[in-house]
A and B are shown apart, each in its own frame.
Chain A
Amino acid sequence: MTTKTRYFVVGSMLTLAIGLGVGLVAYSVGFSTSAFTREGGPAELQFVPANASLIAYADVHDVMASNLRQKVRSAFPLKEDGQHEFQNQTGINIETDIDHVLVAIVPTGEETGRMPGSPIVLARGQFDQVKIEALMREHGAQVEDYKGARLVVGDATDGKPSLSLAFLEPGLVAVGSHALICGAVDLKSGGSSIAANDEMMGLIRDLESGHAWAAGRFDALTSRANLPDGVVQQIPGITLFSASANIDSGIRGTFRAESRDEASATSLRDVVRGFLALARMQTSARPELASMLESLQLGGTGKTVALSFDLPPAMLDALVSLGQHRQGTLAPQQ
């Protein structure tokens, strides 16, 4: 073996050894991924408790301004009375004043109905703080101070928990249960927010640049979904899920599920693949639907199952005109 070859062998083995060493250390001590990554997700996440089971986000401004929204609006003109009334009462123009909204569901142990926890809504935009507070007070809300923050606490009626509101920052309003709003105020000065939850943040980092997305623990959904036992048993062990969509002239989206193990992921892929095959067979005679199904792509690696879709503008136009046609044929019967 020549000297040059010896150097190569040593260099190569050193690279392998260092890589394996670093990986092994990371694996054994559960090395935080944040050492290698940038912070992800919208800033409002700092007000969401670490144990949130579901987080959803919508970039309202972009969606409202999207071509798709303009098309739908012109195809199906809505009565704007309700929107005007809401604007008059709150000072909020839904079309222009809300930048984005983040909703989190947080298990509190006091869940009722089908909701897997209490929600907290964080909306960023241009809000008339005085007008909103006045409106709530008209409906019996009380204003209180919590650690220097001004909380508007709604009146608890019919056994439902009271709804509270607080402006956590200029242009950022939080609405939710009293406990959650207080919690959000607490988190403002530090504490364990969802940003410290690697599992959820891992999902969110993948998705947060979509116009609308949701991520969460799948059991949190199914436990309150009152699904039949038969159906629940058929769903392979999904632990986490996420979904995101990009909306412009068309819609592109991805649904992603993290399963308990690779076998479950394989099983889930098989189920989805079966559904896709069945759907493709069923829609073979309907080109407008068939092309939509063609855009569905199954993928994912390891324990991840991903289903992505892409509805191009032409396809959406076809669907819109189909809707218009149906509306037209139904109109005389109304």
Chain B
Amino acid sequence: MKRNSETAGRYFLPVKTISVLAVILSAIGIMSFGIKNKKGVTKSNIQFENSNRDSIKSVKAFMDVYKVLMSPRCVNCHPSGDVPLQGDDSHLHTMFPRRGVDGKGVYAMKCANCHQPANTPGLNTPPGNPNWHLPPANMKLVFQGRTPHQLAKQLMDPKQNGHKGKEQLIAHATDALVLAAWNPGDGRALPPMSHEAFKKAWTTWIENGAYAPKPSKVKARP
């Protein structure tokens, strides 16, 4: 059964491949209709305007996007478990705060109890944002441990990306919490490129068809 794209916007449907995710997807009742091209990258199978499709350009841009998303500034709040990561070495957050249903923590350990609307000055103080949170429990959007291939596919899957369509995804590059990565608080490493460069790579990746790199190209960060 093919996914309906009502919530995802009319130009946009998830990138899928038969080869890698078929098992997972069929397990959750979704059949895959991805088509692999000769270069081994996976192209989006739906309604991209032909003039904009360029798998090489798209994949190349995604590899820059990937570097940013796997930097501690992004991956720390997209953990594989329910406890966020912390620090430039992405260790488990030392107070073990839990994600909670809404991604904002639980009980006495809600993100905003420590994470203020703005960064707290000084080294090793909580970074801040008015909307500090993890992805919610029903849409965990895990980055930690994902290969470029897996991550690209996940980002393009409305079921896993917060039901975002193309335009919403492009706009997400300037989301306040995404921008917070470039204002990380004293002593924390910045993502490996400027926000401007990231935004350009992000947009380029999507505009050119949101291709996912082939599965084996880069090993996932642990």
Do A and B pair up? The answer is no
Interface residues of B (CB under 8 A from A): none
